[in-house]
Amino acid sequence: MAGEIQKAKSFEDRMLDRIRDSIGELMTDDELKKIIERGVDKVFFEPLELRDGYSSHQEKPLIHGILTEILKPQVQAAVNVYMKENKDKLAETIEEIIKRGMGAALMDAITWQFQNDLQNFQTSIMSTIQQR
C-alpha cells in the first residue's frame, strides 16, 4: 500500500499532532500529576452540579455512590450481627420508640380535635374586643 494517496491533514489535525508530539517538552511529570490529581478530586470528591433548564441542583460526589455500592454488603452484615447479638437491647429501644410515638400521635389527635374549637374561640374573642 505504498502507492496509496494520503489525504492532507487539516490545520486542527496538524495542531493536535504537534501538541501530542511536544506535550512531553511542555509539561513536566509533576505538572501532569497535579492536573490529574485535580481532575480526580473534582470528579470523585466535589458535588456535581446539574442544570435542568433554569434550575440547578447539586448531587453528592461520585465517591459517595461508589463507596455505598462497595460497602453496602459489609455494613448489612455488620448490622445483622449486631441485631442477633443485641436482641434484648433492640426490643427495649423499639418499645421506647413506640411509646414515644404513641404519645406524640395522641397529642396530635387531641390538638387536631380541638383546633377548630380553639380557632372559633379565638375569633369570638377578637370580635368581642374589636366591638368595644
Is 79 domain-assigned? no
Is 3 domain-assigned? no
- Which residues, in sequence order, are CB contacts of 47 under 8 Å at separation 6+? 58, 59, 60, 61
pLDDT confidence of residue 128: 82
Mean pLDDT across 103-125: 80
pLDDT in tens, 18-57: 776 777 667 777 777 787 788 888 888 888 777 777 777 7
What's the predicted TM-score (pTM) here? 0.40
Q: Which helix (H) or strand (E) holds 52?
A: strand 48-52
Q: Where residue 77 falls among pLDDT bands split at 50, 70, 90?
A: very high
pLDDT confidence of residue 127: 81
H-assigned helices in 27-86: 29-45, 62-85
pLDDT at 1 over 60: no
Is 114 domain-assigned? yes
Cell of residue 110, nine digits? 387531641
Is 60 domain-assigned? no
Domain range enclosing 104: 87-132
Q: What's the structural domain count of the chain?
A: 1
Is 29 domain-assigned? no
pLDDT confidence of residue 105: 78
pLDDT in tens, 87-105: 998 888 888 878 777 778 7
Residue 130, helix vs strand vs coil: helix
The per-residue pLDDT of the chain, averaged, comes to 80
Is 120 domain-assigned? yes
